[in-house]
Structure 1
Amino acid sequence: MNETPLLLSVEDRVATLTFNRPDKLNAMNARMMDALLEALEHTQTDEEVRVVVITGAGKAFMAGADITEYAQQSRADFNRFQSRGRSVYAAIEGHRCPVIAAVNGYAFGGGLEIALACDLVLATDGARAGLPEIQLNLIPGGGGTQRLPKKIGLNRALEMLVTGEPVEVRTLADWGLVNHVFAKETFAAEVRDFAQKIAQREPAPVRMLKQLAHAAWGGVDAAHLAMETQLLEGYYLSEAGQRQIQAFYQRSLQRQARS
């Protein structure tokens, strides 16, 4: 309980937000979600910050939701977690600064959904990303069903969604989701240099360009996001949905006991 789930540092006008649960592959829990939203709100008002970088400690960017917490949520806890998640994605897309996802490793579930909400995506060679929720007989709940088709096209997105299989970041770069792939050995330095290219520009026109590019892209439809939430909530809280979650939770406990 004493862990700091998210680290925030600011250097040379670049704010770096680091998921800090490496022993859990940076799986998202309620404390990390709250810390991420707080950090985004802080950097939104800190005029020193011109670029925001989101990355992970250890070998993962983020391996989705923390199933040990997710499996035990009440309806109220579930609704709050989903609501805070929607606030996080909105805070990323609506941030005055460009937000860069520095995908240093696995980006599954909510990890990929955070990257999808970011303005730019940099990745380390060999990293993989995916939306594996279907393997739990669930669906994504962080806007992944809406942002992924708009970023890589319907057919590719639907294949990722219905198979749940991960995709190499070099393939995602070919599909237009990832901007650049860098070697592991130089990844941190490459991310720093890339962020500095933007931080050196005047912030006002950069902000305008982000707004204009998002306007051209069209964003995601609020009604469609609400549909995703409604469908996930209905199934998650159903008897069948809870049975799937609990089965996966028990398998996770067994794996932990063997390790």
Structure 2
Amino acid sequence: MTSYETITCTLEAGVARLQFNRPGLLNAMNRQMMDEIIHALEAITGDERVLVGVITGSGRAFMAGADIKEYSRQTPEEFNSFQAKGRRLYALIEQAPIPFIAAVNGFALGGGFEIALACDFIVAAASAKMGLPEIHLGLIPGGGGAQRLLLKIGLGRVKEMLLLGQSYSAARMEEWGLVYAVAEDQALEDTVAGLAEKLKRRPGQAVKAIKAMLEPSAIEAAFETRLDREGAAVAALYQSPEAAQLIREFTAKNK
């Protein structure tokens, strides 16, 4: 895959691995890094060989948010452009036809936590810390973090996270239902690999349909509309060669 300066992106056995690579700055995201992440995500989601995406960080952090030195020097136009690109980045993950796993190896703060929230699964190292500390800068999350949290946990906890701006342990995030699994630090890669292997074996058309059905903008539709979409999706899948073959195999095996 393409070579980058601030990230690495590799593909092996159907799993694309995107790794943030500014460890000396806790993988803080500047404009170049954001552009490279978006380019890599577009390549990943457009590549039919990719069955699962994994996003992680190098060094002690997943991503410690935006690069504040660059962030503080932005003009209003640059700031608006940065925010718009951020929303594009999160949407590429959330609306992808494949599942994404956030392998949170360390600090996932601000925009880094928002990236993890856009993924379908978060697997976190036991030592990882997550949170939305924007209030300490007189700001709020600007990439949809608060809105995604509202779909995952209760209003009271979302207010707590945003108003206090604290960092939370992986165990607490698992307790709240945000983290799929917590692994000992040295076992993180194996845990993520095991989950990716399971997801790889799931039928691709059904995975794509599930992701489309549960994407945030889709679940905001009226209940009857969602029922109609679900019915249309299962009817289309039932008539697909993939499902027909799997149904035949299941029937033969259970005779």
Q: In the alignment, residue 101 of structure 1 is paired with which amino acid?
A: A
Structure 1 length normalisation: TM-score? 0.81
Q: Identify the residue that residue 204 of structure 1 maps to in structure 2.
A: 205
Q: How far has the Cα of 1:75 moved from its partner?
A: 1.4
Q: Identify the residue that residue 151 of structure 2 maps to in structure 1.
A: 150
Tell me, in whole angstroms, the C-alpha distance in 2 between the residues paired with 1:168 and 1:53.
21
Q: Identify the residue that residue 38 of structure 2 maps to in structure 1.
A: 37
Q: In the alignment, residue 157 of structure 1 is paired with which amino acid?
A: V
Tell me, in whole angstroms, the C-alpha distance in 2 between the residues paired with 1:198 and 1:187.
17
Are positions 1:94 and 2:100 aligned together?
no
Q: How far has the Cα of 1:86 moved from its partner?
A: 0.7
Tell me, what secondary structure is at the counterpart of 1:115? Answer: helix
Q: Identify the residue that residue 28 of structure 1 maps to in structure 2.
A: 29
Tell me, in whole angstroms, the C-alpha distance in 2 between the residues paired with 1:173 and 1:129.
11
Are positions 1:179 and 2:150 aligned together?
no
Q: Identify the residue that residue 116 of structure 1 maps to in structure 2.
A: 117
Q: Identify the residue that residue 60 of structure 2 maps to in structure 1.
A: 59
Tell me, in whole angstroms, the C-alpha distance in 2 between the residues paired with 1:129 and 1:180.
14
Tell me, what secondary structure is at the counterpart of 1:64? Answer: coil
Structure 2 length normalisation: TM-score? 0.82
Q: Is the 8 A contact 1:149 1:158 kept in 2?
A: no
| Per-residue deviation, residues 83-123 of structure 1 (Å, max 9, x unmatched) | 11010011111101001111111000001111111111110
Tell me, in whole angstroms, the C-alpha distance in 1 between the residues paired with 2:59 and 2:29.
14
Tell me, in whole angstroms, the C-alpha distance in 2 between the residues paired with 1:216 and 1:65.
26
Cα pair distance change 1:41/1:216, threshold 3 Å: closer
Tell me, in whole angstroms, the C-alpha distance in 1 between the residues paired with 2:205 and 2:176.
30
Q: How far has the Cα of 1:219 moved from its partner?
A: 6.0
Find the structure with the greater CA-based Rg.
2
Q: Is the 8 A contact 1:14 1:49 kept in 2?
A: yes
Q: Is the 8 A contact 2:125 2:183 kept in 1?
A: yes
Q: Is the 8 A contact 2:95 2:211 kept in 1?
A: no
| Per-residue deviation, residues 37-58 of structure 1 (Å, max 9, x unmatched) | 1111101111100100110011
Q: In the alignment, residue 115 of structure 1 is paired with which amino acid?
A: A
Q: Identify the residue that residue 250 of structure 1 maps to in structure 2.
A: none
Cα pair distance change 1:62/1:219, threshold 3 Å: farther
| Per-residue deviation, residues 135-192 of structure 1 (Å, max 9, x unmatched) | 1111111111211122111101100100001111111111110000011111111111
Pairwise CA RMSD? 1.8
Q: Identify the residue that residue 15 of structure 1 maps to in structure 2.
A: 16
- Equivalent positions of 1:157-196 (< 5 A) are 157-196=158-197
Tell me, in whole angstroms, the C-alpha distance in 1 between the residues paired with 2:204 and 2:5.
30
Q: Identify the residue that residue 226 of structure 2 maps to in structure 1.
A: none
Tell me, what secondary structure is at the counterpart of 1:208? Answer: helix
> Which has the bigger relative contact order, CA under 8 A and spacing at least 6?
1
Q: Is the 8 A contact 2:54 2:103 kept in 1?
A: yes
Tell me, in whole angstroms, the C-alpha distance in 1 between the residues paired with 2:212 and 2:180.
19
Q: In the alignment, residue 66 of structure 1 is paired with which amino acid?
A: D
Q: In the alignment, residue 185 of structure 2 is paired with which amino acid?
A: K
What percentage of aligned pairs have identical amino acids? 48
Q: In the alignment, residue 124 of structure 1 is paired with which amino acid?
A: A
Q: Identify the residue that residue 50 of structure 2 maps to in structure 1.
A: 49
Q: In the alignment, residue 108 of structure 2 is paired with which amino acid?
A: A
Q: Is the 8 A contact 2:213 2:219 kept in 1?
A: no
Q: How far has the Cα of 1:216 moved from its partner?
A: 9.8
Tell me, what secondary structure is at the counterpart of 1:9? Answer: strand
Q: In the alignment, residue 153 of structure 2 is paired with which amino acid?
A: I
Tell me, in whole angstroms, the C-alpha distance in 2 between the residues paired with 1:116 and 1:23.
24
Q: Is the 8 A contact 1:93 1:118 kept in 2?
A: yes
Tell me, in whole angstroms, the C-alpha distance in 1 between the residues paired with 2:211 and 2:146.
23
Tell me, in whole angstroms, the C-alpha distance in 2 between the residues paired with 1:131 and 1:173.
16
Cα pair distance change 1:156/1:217, threshold 3 Å: farther
Q: Identify the residue that residue 82 of structure 1 maps to in structure 2.
A: 83
Q: Identify the residue that residue 129 of structure 1 maps to in structure 2.
A: 130
Tell me, what secondary structure is at the counterpart of 2:80? Answer: helix
